[in-house]
Amino acid sequence: MRRTLEINLAGRVAGGYSIQFLKAEVPSEHRVPFALIRFSLEGKPQPYGLRLDMYKKTFLDHTDDKGLEEFLEQAASKIVEVLSEALSENRDV
């Protein structure tokens, strides 16, 4: 039994600042308000992800780049929207 659901974000959430969102990983057994967002930077998939609080619609990880931080703030809301829809309809999972 899978313990993590993977939800495709590619093409569903716009990228920017050399970031493309690839997929979200959410726990399947216990519904918690957190997701790990996998992304690529300048076309290269990164070995780590960004932690997202789905209740607060904000990333728990931050950067010193003010423009990137603002972009991530805006993207978080769209990502939560996509994840909520996919989890409620149990599709694209």
Q: What does the pLDDT read at residue 92?
A: 45
Under the banding of pLDDT at 50, 70 and 90, the label for residue 93 is very low
Q: What is the mean pLDDT of residues 48-73?
A: 94
pLDDT, one tens digit per residue, over 6-60 is 999 998 998 888 899 999 999 877 677 899 999 998 999 999 999 999 999 999 9
Say what the pLDDT of residue 1 is. 54
**What is the side-by-side order of every strand in the sheet holding 19-27?**
4-8, 19-27, 34-41, 44-53, 58-59
DSSP E strand stretches across the chain: 4-8, 19-27, 34-41, 44-53, 58-59
- Collapsing DSSP to helix, strand or coil, 74 comes out as helix
